[in-house]
Amino acid sequence: MSKRHPVTGAFQAPRLIEHQSVLRVSCKLLVPFIIMFAVYVITHGELGPGGGFQGGVIMAAAFIFYGLVFGASRLVDRIPSRITDFLMAAGVLLYAGVGLHNLLAGSNFLDYSALNPAHPSEGEALGMTLVEYGVGITVTSVFITIYVTITEPRFMRSKRENVKVTD
């Protein structure tokens, strides 16, 4: 059933994901809902439990789930490393940018009420939401990167097996 790799001794999943309909279908059904829940957790961080970190991890879990079922190579096809690298930095920049915007608006660094001087309470909520987005984006992409990097040998092996060699 589950074959062992001759060199590393690692157990290998059966090759053809096309034959595992239960996994395939349930993964494709679940992933959108997990992502939706993650967005809910991130955006409602200032109202209920949760926030950028938790929501980001849940979002990454959706992608990692996809990677577990379909293989890390397919996951990288879906969300290339270039994008995750970019988003990693973009999240931190968004967080710091909100703070800098407040500083330039004449308030303290990270004092969100400067975002909306007419309604400080709204500015407060907006600033915290933006900051949570930043945390969520960074955490999501970092966790996806960790997963892809850790499973790299296997992933590269499967990629290599698909290489057509022509003499």
Partner 1 sequence: MNEVLILDVLLLTLALVAAVAIVRVRSLLAATMLSGIYSLIMALVWSNMHALDVGFTEAAVGAGATTVLLLGTISATGRLSRRTPSLDLRAAAVVLFTGGLLIYGTLDMPDFGDPHAPIHQHRVPKLLAQQVGKVPGRPPLGMDPPDPAHPHPRDDFNGHVPNTVTSLLAAYRGFDTMFETAVIFTAGISLVLLLRRRDDDIVEAWDEREREVQTPRPVAPVPQPPTRSYTAVGASAEPDDAPKGEA
Site size for partner 1 (CB under 8 A): 73
- How wide is the angle at C-alpha 38 spanned by C-alphas 53 and 94, nearest 5°? 50
CB of 138 to partner 1, least distance (A): 5
According to CB under 8 A, which one of 32, 80, 117, 153 is a site residue for partner 1? 153
Residue 166 contacts partner 1 per CB under 8 A: yes
**CA 107 to CA 99: how far, in whole Å?**
9
**CA 129 to CA 52: how far, in whole Å?**
9
- Long-range CB contacts for residues 28-31, cutoff 8 Å, separation at least 24: 30/62, 30/65, 31/62, 31/65, 31/66
CB of 28 to partner 1, least distance (A): 18
Residues 3-22 that bind partner 1 (CB under 8 A): 6-11
Residues 102-141 that bind partner 1 (CB under 8 A): 108-113, 119-121, 124-125, 127-128, 131-132, 134-135, 138-139, 141
